[in-house]
């Protein structure tokens, strides 16, 4: 009889232990979900506030300039070549998960000589970050 009294108590401890583990796991999942939601909200707000400026190459001397721009987890890095007050080449140095779409936008910048190019849906943030990297590369280069 004494052994029977011990068995249910040991089983009860085991159940309580599993319940504690389950509560801890649920709490961790909840905290991660809330943190992820806050991060997503902050990132979305930052992307809506991201404004790409205008280019003025009239006083930018010929040369090669590098620029970077980071927006949370989206990074852009470029090398811009300027000759005779015109952008002749932009190299995407990486950092983008949508490389093909970013390269397309950078090619348009060279063609249009403007940062005000159309962005492709689904890669808008990556493209805007790359455009800001171009802006950063040329900022303050005027003679």
Q: What is the DSSP string of the chain?
A: -HHHHHHHHHHHHHHHHHHHHHHHHHHHHHHHHHHHHHHHHHHHHHHHH--------TTPPSEEEEEEEEETTEEEEEEEEEETTEEEEEEEEE--S-HHHHHHHHHHHHHHTSS-----TTSHHHHHHHHHHHHHHHTT---
Residue positions counted in the chain: 143
Chain mean position to CA 93: 15
Specify the residue for token string 């790409």.
52
Mean pLDDT by 10 residues, the chain (143 residues): 53 86 96 95 88 88 94 93 95 82 93 90 87 91 65
Q: Which two tokens stand for residue 93?
A: 């140095």
- Report the C-alpha gap between 38 and 45 in whole angstroms: 11
What is the distance of C-alpha 21 from the center of its chain?
Answer: 35
Fold (CATH) for 63-138: Sufe protein. Chain: A (3.90.1010)
pTM: 0.77
Residue 4 is predicted with a pLDDT of 52
């Amino acid at each position: 009889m004494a052994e029977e009294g011990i068995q249910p108590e040991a089983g009860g401890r085991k159940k309580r232990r599993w319940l504690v583990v389950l509560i801890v796991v649920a709490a961790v999942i909840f905290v991660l979900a809330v943190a992820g939601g806050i991060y997503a909200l902050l990132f979305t707000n930052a992307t809506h506030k991201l404004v790409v400026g205008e280019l003025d190459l009239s006083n930018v001397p010929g040369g090669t300039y590098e620029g970077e721009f980071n927006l949370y987890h989206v990074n852009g890095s470029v090398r811009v070549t300027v000759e005779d007050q015109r952008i002749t080449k932009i190299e995407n140095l990486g950092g983008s998960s949508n490389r093909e779409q970013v390269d397309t936008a950078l090619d348009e910048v060279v063609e249009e000589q403007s940062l005000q190019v159309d962005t492709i849906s689904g890669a808008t943030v990556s493209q805007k970050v790359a455009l800001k990297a171009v802006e950063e590369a040329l900022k303050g280069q005027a003679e």
